[in-house]
């Protein structure tokens, strides 16, 4: 099956005075219909920038984004606008992503009217159906964001994303602002919606337990690059990159009697203004060898769909 969306050598640079910062540097990934792919890594590694470039909310500096075999990086104006119906995003903080002056009704009407998808009685029926789909009562359509709880606001954000029946949805840490019980409800909702609508998900999160629950494949980023990728079970059970091993060792275990060896990383990531010529993880890696600092390691095949950017 051809992927719904495929990214090839995606790069995004930002200018800071005379300097250039490569926030995303050669990322490649693909997502098929009905598949959820996780994108993980520490803050500032380029996860959100990658998602925004995929949706053309940010202009990529280099590379291609193929959406249903259509190169989004070559589309402009009306052509790109027509494709936006099929690509949506759920943002991290509903307090900033929802317009406080818009009722829930107006928030959900906007994309339908913008793309000419419904009007009159059909529009009202679509609004009510979508509200029920995200476990909200249709009576809430006339409420404003300040009249909703955090979980309700995030479900409105999900409703806005799915109301146009997209084929690809980027989820940028959608559970990070919610408490644990609401977080579990939202993850179950996202899983159900994906099964019902067959959407492709890019799920960005620091919550590795949530990533394992929702995603079938995982991509690990560090300093703008994908350093490990593969099936979720393979990544969790057999992490090959030292950074991934440290990341997974930090997952909390809900058992106070359980003992586990934490891998503590020393130092800080190198400056994006002055990236090393070798492996970007070289200075923090306890397994480093002299040759690791000579050049960037390629993403090699470790078997079973598992890839790792590390010298053997």
Q: Using one digit for the tens of pLDDT, what is the confidence trace for 222-238? A: 999 999 999 999 999 99
- 3-class state of residue 12 by DSSP: strand
Most confident region among 15-24, 52-61, 171-180, 290-299 by mean pLDDT: 52-61
| 5-101+166-309: CATH number | 3.40.50.300
Cα end-to-end distance, the chain, whole Å:
32
Decide the pairing of beta strands 306-309 and 36-40: unpaired
Residue 174 has a CB neighbour count (10 Å cut-off) of: 28
Q: Where are the beta strands (DSSP E) in the chain?
A: 5-16, 19-31, 36-40, 62-67, 70-71, 87-90, 168-172, 200-204, 217-222, 225-231, 299-303, 306-309
pLDDT, mean of residues 175-198: 90
Q: How far apart are CA 34 and CA 28, in angstroms?
A: 19
Per-residue confidence band for 296, with pLDDT thresholds at 50, 70 and 90 = confident
Residues 6+ apart with CB under 8 A from 106: none
pLDDT tens sequence across 208-266? 999 999 999 999 999 999 999 999 999 999 999 999 999 998 877 766 666 667 787 87
Residue 274: what pLDDT? 79
Residue 141: what pLDDT? 97
Residue 144: what pLDDT? 97
Residue 162: what pLDDT? 96
Q: Whole-model pTM?
A: 0.93
């Amino acid at each position: 099956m051809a992927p719904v969306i495929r990214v090839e050598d995606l790069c995004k640079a930002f200018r800071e005075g005379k300097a250039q910062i490569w926030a995303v540097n050669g990322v490649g990934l693909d997502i098929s219909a009905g598949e959820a792919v996780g994108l993980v890594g520490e803050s500032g590694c380029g996860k959100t920038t990658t998602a925004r470039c995929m949706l053309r909310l940010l202009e990529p500096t280099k590379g291609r984004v193929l959406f249903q075999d259509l190169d989004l990086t070559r589309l402009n104006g009306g052509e790109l606008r027509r494709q936006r119906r099929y690509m949506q995003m759920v943002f991290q903080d509903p307090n900033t992503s929802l317009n406080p002056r818009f009722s829930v009704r107006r928030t959900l009407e906007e994309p339908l009217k913008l793309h000419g998808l419904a009007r009159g009685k059909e529009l009202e029926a679509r609004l009510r159906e979508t509200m029920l789909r995200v476990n909200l009562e249709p009576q809430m359509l006339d409420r404003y964001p300040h009249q909703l709880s955090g979980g309700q606001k995030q479900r409105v954000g999900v409703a806005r994303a799915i109301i146009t029946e997209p084929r690809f949805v980027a989820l940028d840490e959608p559970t990070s602002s919610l408490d644990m019980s609401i977080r579990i409800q939202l993850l179950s909702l996202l899983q159900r919606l994906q099964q019902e609508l067959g959407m492709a998900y890019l799920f960005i999160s620091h919550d590795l337990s949530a990533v394992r629950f929702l995603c079938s494949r995982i991509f690990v980023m560090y300093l703008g690059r994908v350093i490990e990728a593969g099936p979720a079970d393979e990544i969790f059970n057999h992490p090959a990159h030292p950074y991934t091993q440290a990341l997974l060792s930090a997952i909390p275990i809900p058992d106070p009697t359980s003992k586990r060896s934490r891998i503590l990383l020393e130092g800080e990531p190198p400056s994006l203004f002055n990236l090393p010529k070798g492996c970007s993880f070289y200075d923090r890696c306890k397994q480093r060898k002299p040759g690791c600092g000579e050049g960037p390691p390629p993403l090699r095949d470790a078997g079973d769909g598992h890839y790792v950017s590390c010298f053997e």
